[in-house]
Amino acid sequence: MLTMKHSAFAASLAAKAVKALMEEALLTPKPGLVDARDNGSHTDMSINLMLASARVLEDTFREIAIVSYLHPVDQTLREQIALIGREGEKVMLRATNGVNTHKGAIWALGLLTSARAAFPKERDPHQIMSIAGRIASFHDRYRPMQQTNGRTVKKKYAVVGAEEEAKLGFPHIRDEALPALLRARACGKKEVEARLEALLALMACVDDTCILHRGQLTDLMAIQSMAAAFLAADGLRTQSGRKLLYRLSEYCNVRQLSPGGSADLLAATLFLID
């Protein structure tokens, strides 16, 4: 039976997930990604489309939270939220006229929303990621077997994709994005700087299948190197850091490369920390 407390908690988690998606979209500047300034490397997306996509997913996250509330971490939970997530993808595609704006984010934020709802008293980001990893590790017997861009890239380059990232408990958020965000905040940097550094910390180490889908392994390595150099130069605080960010943005835009996997993980990071 759905109680008022249960319903309100589910609604709050859904609102938090949507807020994280919108804050990721609005973060400006972001190399290769849609932001409030321009469309980055994308010709089929805009900031208005990203925000509209985030809004229509609120019911998806709310439904995930409802079915996950105090639910044991088991295969049944995994399959229930997967079904809701696939329906959410359809809602997203209808709202965007077929543009895949947030498929990866539905996966990551759906799992984290589920983990948070299953253990409503748990607030530690590391514990929530660990629980989400346990949920992701269960087999989904109803998962469609069609070939996706991510699966094709993983097979071609032998890299870890979004599925494995989740099953491992989101190590790139745990070890890179969260520390970068908290470190920047502790240094007194502006929130936009802290979030940008969290994103670039991800871009410096994630084998982003979105980049590999459009580009080559050499492109991924170049982007990772430039992102790491930006962080080493103290980010937006220095002229060299700003030049590196511009160079990275130009590299992505000219080659139409989008670090979409890192963007999804940044949204997940914001969901966990704020």
Torsion of CA 34, 26, 66, 141, to 10 degrees: 20
State mean pLDDT over 67-90.
98
State mean pLDDT over 143-157.
83
Please report which residue ranges of the chain form alpha helices under DSSP H.
4-26, 47-56, 58-68, 75-95, 103-118, 125-137, 149-157, 162-167, 171-172, 178-186, 191-203, 209-214, 217-232, 239-255, 260-273
Per-residue pLDDT for 139 more than 90?
A: yes
Give the DSSP letter of residue 96. T
pLDDT digits (tens, 9 = 90+) for 18-28: 999 999 999 99
pLDDT digits (tens, 9 = 90+) for 229-252: 999 999 999 999 999 999 999 999
State mean pLDDT over 116-139.
98
Per-residue pLDDT for 69 more than 90?
A: yes
CA quadruple 186, 195, 263, 75: dihedral positive or negative? positive
What does the mean pLDDT of the chain come to?
A: 97
Q: Tell me, what's the pLDDT at 152?
A: 87
How far apart, in whole angstroms, are the C-alpha atoms of residue 12 and residue 34? 26
Per-residue pLDDT for 2 more than 80?
A: no
Q: Tell me, what's the pLDDT at 60?
A: 99
Percentage of the chain modeled with pLDDT above 70? 100
Query: pTM here?
Result: 0.96
> Sorting pLDDT into bands at 50, 70 and 90, what band is 274?
confident
CB burial class (10 A; 0-12, 13-18, 19+) of residue 254? exposed
